[in-house]
Amino acid sequence: MFLNNETIMRHFILFITSFLLLFSMAQSQNFHSGLIAGATVTDVGKFDLTDRDNDFHKLGFSFGGLVSNKIGNSSFIQMEIAYIQKGSSQPVDSAYIPYILNLNYIDVSLILKQKIKFNIKKTPVDKFGVEIGITAGTPVKSSYTIYGVKQNIYDMNKLDLNLLAGIYYNFNPNFYISFRYSNSIIHAIKHNSKYINFYPFATWQNGNNLAFQITFGFVFNNGKNAGKNIAE
């Protein structure tokens, strides 16, 4: 399945519209808006054409926006909309079959973030936190190349649904870094693909999007409580 230019443009317009909606929500209600950008290291479960293992050779990036709202003394809820690159690959200079599978999505995530406090040598530390959430994505661009030849992509599901978990660190009230891992609830690649059956045996994550993310976030001092960042 390859997406035509008209489909890509529709998704792009949807992304921009949703992005602007995030910021308008933050300005008109008790929310904070911000920007996110980072890098991804991904794979698709059991997609490796040689030994079916997960090597995480596929590098990519992500960027988008967020709105967040404090829901307790040390917890808050965050919504993100981001363009993200996922997929799988095997380098040409390796001893295995070289290929690259590009799966690019617009993701919408709902994340619960909890600040944690502890002491190191009697010094309180309160800049770390944990996060869990769910992400729903729609594919906007995809391609599959093997031995340098572009081919039809395997059947993809139109919805990419993932669970995520991670940790974050606040450099200051407005700037943070997060480290996340996500795994599909709905397979990215259908198990009944009519092109090539790369599922020699059944496992729970065959065809799943597997992703490690490093994300930098910047939260603006906006909303009704402009002087109080929710991370504090």
For 137-155, the three-class secondary structure string (H helix, E strand, C coil) is: EEEEEEEEEECCEEECCCC
Using the predicted structure, report yes or no on whether residue 229 has a pLDDT greater than 60: no
Using the predicted structure, report yes or no on whether residue 123 has a pLDDT greater than 60: yes
What secondary structure letter does DSSP report for 152?
A: P
Alpha-carbon torsion (198, 97, 45, 61), positive or negative = negative
Using the predicted structure, report yes or no on whether residue 129 has a pLDDT greater than 90: yes
Tokens (6 digits) for 116: 């944690």
* Phi-psi map region of 154: left, alpha, beta (phi>0 left; psi -120 to 50 alpha): beta
pLDDT, tens only, 146-176: 888 888 776 788 888 999 999 999 999 899 9
Phi, psi torsion values for 23, nearest 5 degrees: -70, -35
Let me know: does 151 contact 143? Beta carbons within 8 Å: no
pLDDT band (50, 70, 90) for residue 195 = very low
Using the predicted structure, report yes or no on whether residue 21 has a pLDDT greater than 70: no
pLDDT band (50, 70, 90) for residue 2 = very low
First-to-last C-alpha distance (Å) of the chain: 45
Tokens (6 digits) for 117: 């406090």
Mean pLDDT of 65-75: 85
pLDDT band (50, 70, 90) for residue 128 = very high
- How many angstroms separate the CA atoms of 25 and 144, rounded? 38
pLDDT recorded at residue 16: 58
pLDDT band (50, 70, 90) for residue 33 = confident
Alpha-carbon torsion (58, 59, 62, 68), positive or negative = positive
What secondary structure letter does DSSP report for 217?
A: E
Higher pLDDT, 106 or 52: 106
Domains defined along the chain, listed by start: 5-219 (2.40.160.20)
Mean pLDDT of 112-137: 89
Residue type, 93: D
In this structure, the number of other CB atoms found within 10 A of the CB of residue 197 comes to 10
Residues comprising the chain, all counted? 232
pLDDT recorded at residue 43: 92
pLDDT recorded at residue 165: 98
pLDDT band (50, 70, 90) for residue 114 = very high
- How many angstroms separate the CA atoms of 176 and 42, rounded? 22
pLDDT recorded at residue 38: 97
Average pLDDT over all residues of the chain: 80
Using the predicted structure, report yes or no on whether residue 5 has a pLDDT greater than 50: no
Mean pLDDT of 110-125: 86
User: Which pairing describes strands 99-120 and 149-151: parallel, antiparallel, or unpaired?
Assistant: unpaired
Tokens (6 digits) for 161: 């649904």
Report the share of the chain in percent with pLDDT over 70: 73
